[in-house]
Chain A
Amino acid sequence: MAESREIQVRDAGALASIPVSPDALPVPGEESAELRGDRMILNMGPSHPATHGVLRIVLELEGEQIIKASPEVGYLHRGDEKIAENMTYTQFVPYTDRLDYLAPLANNVAYALAVEKAMGIDKDLPERTRYIRVICAELGRIQSHLLGLGSYAMDVGAMTVFLHTFTEREKIYNLCESLTGARFTTSYTRIGGLARDLPPGWTDALSRFCEEVQINFDETETLLSRNRIFMDRTQGVGVISREAAIDYGLSGPNCRGSGIEHDLRKSNPYLVYDQLDFDVPVGSTGDCYDRYILRIEEMRQSVRIIRQCLDRLPGGPINVPDGKIALPPKEHVLTRMEELIHHFINVTQGVNVPAGETYFGHENPKGELGFYINSRGGGTPYRLKIRSPSFTNLSILPHLLPGHMVSDVVAILGSLDFVMGECDR
């Protein structure tokens, strides 16, 4: 099948003008007459160690420089929004875990808040529920950033950091397991409250964890922040300008890294964030190094928030007292008629969300996770749209990658910290 060719040293101009038949074997260094110059198409396929999931990027290269990049998503499109139209609101909670599967608690909180806003009961949530949900959201933030930084460092070359951050993640898994029953995909929140209350001793375990994880942050910073190789690979790479960040709709640490001081917890506060005292780190240059430092600082602020919540955690019920919204206690269901009917209707038909449309955006670790619920009454949404931060964060890649070298792609993808489960839904 191979025909023998003479290998000659030719210049690029002569190469481009030589007509080659379309069924000739491609030899590295030669190309067909359609391409001009030394361009090569490289496919960073859907199965790749550094793409953090199934993302495909088709790169057009000239030597080592990227000329054009076109990402292709959809390899994990599972049809969540279509499934949501065929489920009640409570039945959809497990699907929200698997959206941003690095911080499932935060997604649960976001979804529950969105449905409660649509129902108009977000002011009726008990205080205890609000504090516990804030703790869950911040735990999710720490979890997600730990893995984001761990795998980012591993891709860039520092393998030890991955093992260190995963040890801390295992501690969070222990906490989640005692709280919800599952290490990972928690499905903890319900419409109008939570699935169950905190187990005894959980708050002590959480404060012990807060002590230990601070040490881990310091270790990670020691390993990476002044590391010559890490700094060379990330400083000045993947600079996102302020205008581009706003224009492409970035949110979360990616937009804050470019100097935009915007955090949904401060600008449109929900739950109890307006009573808590925390800072929002903002970057200055918008390169990968900024985003890395920002994420570490965000984790420290999350620990600060958790400590304040633990100090102020009140007692009391965890569910809205209305039996039509949150399931009534089992002993009443089994003995009283009204609660039995409420339980039955709640489980078979779901909570009744009045007709109307709402949008709620939550500050997720990756950005702004929003749920747009268009309801026509009843227990299932007419249209549920999940506004996922990773989807919009990835749309900047065709603008951002050209001009960088191939090895910078890994650093940029890691610093954008997206997850495909959320992007493709």
Chain B
Amino acid sequence: MATSYPGLESSMDKKSTEYSYDSKIEGDVIVTRIDAALRWFQKNSIWPMPMGLACCAIELMAAGASRYDISRFGAEVMRFSPRQSDVMIVAGTVTYKMALAVRRIYDQMAEPKWVIAMGACASTGGMYRSYSVLQGVDRILPVDLYIAGCPPRPEALLDALMRLQEKMSKQPLLATQKKVA
């Protein structure tokens, strides 16, 4: 859990998205940037869109069950609606027949959105080098994180979620929006 979360003391020299908090001076008041606060809210309530296609979906469900509780990270809301979710976890083999549906669902997700390719089949096609399997979901979607394993353990999925939280916390939010506008 204590992988590379920036310590509060060293947040002074980090990039603009970190928050600064000095308990001696401010007490219960946190002084921060809007970017950092919004990113903190976002990363602690990632709502996944489980694109559970094959065996990896069972490990995804196991990660959501009581032993490897994904709800600790705020991600237990596995709504199957793309409009309400932040990250799409592609768990399982993507075939060419299914690829169209996966792409359409990704397009329906609202910005900002991320993609986790869970398992060997979603990352590179896995052990199915055949005529009907898309060799990696990154041929149709921009993937942020790849998880290896066939299927990956739920701990690996939780580790990926934590790395995604780190990645989210480093991306500037309002600056992107200002650029687009």
**A adjacent to B, CB under 8 Å:** yes
Docked pose: A94 CA to B133 CA in angstroms? 17
User: Is B133 within 8 A of A79, CB to CB?
Assistant: yes
| Total A-B residue contacts, Cβ distance less than 8 Å | 87
- Chain B residues 63 to 103 lying within 8 A of chain A, measured CB to CB, are 65-67, 80, 92-93, 95, 97-98, 101-102
Q: Give the dominant DSSP class at A's interface.
A: loop
Q: Which of A29-37, A47-55, A289-297, A410-418 contacts B (4 or more CB under 8 A)?
A: A47-55
B66 touches A77 (CB 8 A): no
Evaluate contact between B67 and A78: CB separation under 8 angstroms: no
Contact (Cβ within 8 A) A77 B132? yes
B54 interfacial by beta-carbon distance below 8 Å: yes
Are A170 and B93 touching (Cβ within 8 A)? Answer: no
- The answer, yes or no, to whether A272 is at the interface (CB within 8 Å) is no
Of B66, B129, B131, the contact of A167 (CB 8 Å cutoff): B66
Nearest CB of B to A149, in Å: 14
**B residues less than 8 Å from A83 (CB atoms):** 128-130
Please indicate the chain B residues that have their CB under 8 angstroms from the CB of A63 in the complex: none
Q: CA separation between A95 and B54, bound complex, in Å?
A: 13
Complex contacts, A97 vs chain B, CB 8 Å: 55
Asked if A163 is at the interface (CB within 8 A of a chain B CB), the reply is: yes
Verify B128–A47 contact, CB threshold 8 A. Answer: no
- A 262-303 binary contact with B (CB < 8 Å = 1; else 0): 000000000000000000000000000000000000000000
Known: A78-B128, A147-B58. Contact between A47 and B101, CB under 8 A? yes
Please give the distance in Å from B94's CB to the nearest CB on chain A: 9
Chain A residues whose CB sits within 8 angstroms of the CB of B151 once the complex forms: 184-185
Size band of the B side of the interface? 20 to 34
B55 touches A77 (CB 8 A): no
Q: Which residues of A contact B150 (CB under 8 A)?
A: 185
A74 close to chain B: CB less than 8 A:
yes
Residues of B within 8 A of A360 (CB): none
Measuring CB to CB, which residues of chain B are less than 8 angstroms from any residue of chain A? Answer: 51-55, 57-59, 61-62, 65-67, 80, 92-93, 95, 97-98, 101-102, 105, 127-133, 150-151, 153
Interface residues of A (CB under 8 A from B): 45-49, 53-54, 74-79, 82-83, 94-95, 97-98, 101-102, 147, 151, 162-163, 166-167, 169-170, 173, 183-185, 420-421
